[in-house]
Amino acid sequence: MKKPNIVVVMADQLAPQFTGCYGHPVASTPHIDALASRGMRFDAAYCNSPLCAPSRFAFMSGQLISRIAAYDNASEFKSSVPTFAHYLRLLDYRTCLSGKMHFVGPDQKHGFEDRVTTDIYPSDFAWTPDWEAHDERIDKWYHNMQTVKESGMAQATFQIDYDDEVGFAARRWLFDRARDKAQNPQASPPFMMVASFIHPHDPYVARPEWWNLYSDDDIDLPAYVPPIEAQDAFSKRVMDGIEASTIPLTEEEVRRARRAYLANVSYFDSKVGQLVQTLEETGELDNTIVIVTADHGDMLGERGLWYKMNFFEHSARVPLIMAGPGVAHGTAANACSLIDLLPTFIEIAGGTKDMLGEPVDGRSLMPLARGEDDPVDEAIGEYCAEMTPYPVIMIRRGQYKYIHCDFDPPQLYNVVDDPLEKHNLANHPEHAVTAKAFAEEIAARWNGEALRQQVIATQKSRRALAKAMQTGNLEHWDYNPPSDASQQYVRNHMDWTVTAERYRFPPTETPD
């Protein structure tokens, strides 16, 4: 049986609530919607840590961040941790990364055979937080409300430059695989590509053609913003950290940010469409499982919060759509998360659990993708980064979500009946048994004090290393994609007619 290709199109900070197929009334996402209309839409998919690098390391390893010490945006992703790219190579796949994965450390490939762009963020330890001063505002590289206030329209940004490069490089790589196959069909393995874009991540700035898809009248304001005195303890610290508690926003500023965000969601959707079109043009679409997802969501003013860094629905949930051979058309209600994708890829590729080099925390989602029953209805999240002195743990199981931090009162929500999470049921008498069971499970599975000490130890180490790396001759880890101009396009040592035929796709038909 022919192994299907796998193409993952990943957004950054895309909350599913702001796409058409997940029910937003005005979001223009025709290409994502088209995939959902012929595939499986997962309606309770979560990230495992609501921050870029930790979420992506969990996604790639199939392991929770506490297992691999992937605590924050300056945690090293150790080269000894097996990733789905390693496993798929063992299963004879050609693997490629185009775009962002926020790898931190000297290993900037983590199993990908090809990497065709650099990353957009630094790969060193400079963004290390300090849990021994968790309540101190970080200035140089941390979020603040000025980002929201500057939302709007522009012709170019570093994010637009980056995503245009990512999309072009991904499409060219797909055409190269088609050219290889045309030259030698028997020596062309299946491929797995991750095309990872930075949009719609803040800054909320969009090009005119996407901005003009919407009008101010289209844009709704946040559905629920509790008064600051009613915020939970962790949300108060996050609001202080991003200055949302001290710098007020006007309705116009909020509306403008949400409009630009939707515009950039549509921009990302266009990239999905271009990649699907390329798969169609190369004859690979019918044999490719296409997956659209994100590393986390964006609060975008809901509950008075912005960006991510919490386990409320707009921050912690991600879109997850699968379409392709063997995938049914429908929706899956079971809770799941990004760590489930590694075992999913292994099943798609024909691998088995006995090939795993390390235990994984996820399960394959292929039963759900095929429309079958799955007894597991669970997602686990851990947050060990800024604005908290202790780990924040989330368990989503069935209709309930439980959030725990040793430093804060517990939170329990019925997210099915209360999707805006207005009512904390943790101390409600009718839910005492449920809350107690979650609390006991947390105590049994996590040692908050021990994990805190591990986090602080790595923070001290990384801050010292960050200072040292800025002293003397600097040696950067940032990925520099290989490029040899002497082998590109037409050169004097080549027969240009042979080169032209090599680049042409489909190739010229040979007369019988």
| 3-state SS record for 212-265 | CCCCHHHCCCCCCCCCHHHCCHHHHHHHHHCCCCCCCCCHHHHHHHHHHHHHHH
Cα distance between residue 455 and residue 70, in whole Å: 9
Residue 51: CA count within 13 A, CB half-sphere: 23
Contact 95, 193 (CB under 8 A): yes
With tokens 């329990």, the residue in question is 412
Contact 463, 130 (CB under 8 A): yes
134: helix, coil or strand? coil
The amino acid occupying position 288 is: T
CA-wise closest residue to 227 among 242, 239, 216: 239
Does 201 participate in catalysis according to the annotation?
no
9: helix, coil or strand? strand
Catalytic residue chosen out of the listed positions 21, 47, 52, 384: 52
Catalytic residue chosen out of the listed positions 31, 102, 199, 314: 102
DSSP secondary structure, 70-106, as one string:
--STT----TTS--HHHHHHHTT-EEEEEE-----SS
Cα distance between residue 189 and residue 180, in whole Å: 10
* Alpha-carbon radius of gyration of the chain: 23
β-pair partners for 381: 394
Does 110 participate in catalysis according to the annotation?
no
Cα distance between residue 72 and residue 142, in whole Å: 13
Number of residues in the chain: 512
With tokens 């798929």, the residue in question is 88
CA-wise closest residue to 196 among 82, 50, 54, 97: 97
Q: Among the residues of 361-421, which ranges form H helices? A: 366-369
Q: Which residues are catalytic?
A: 52, 102
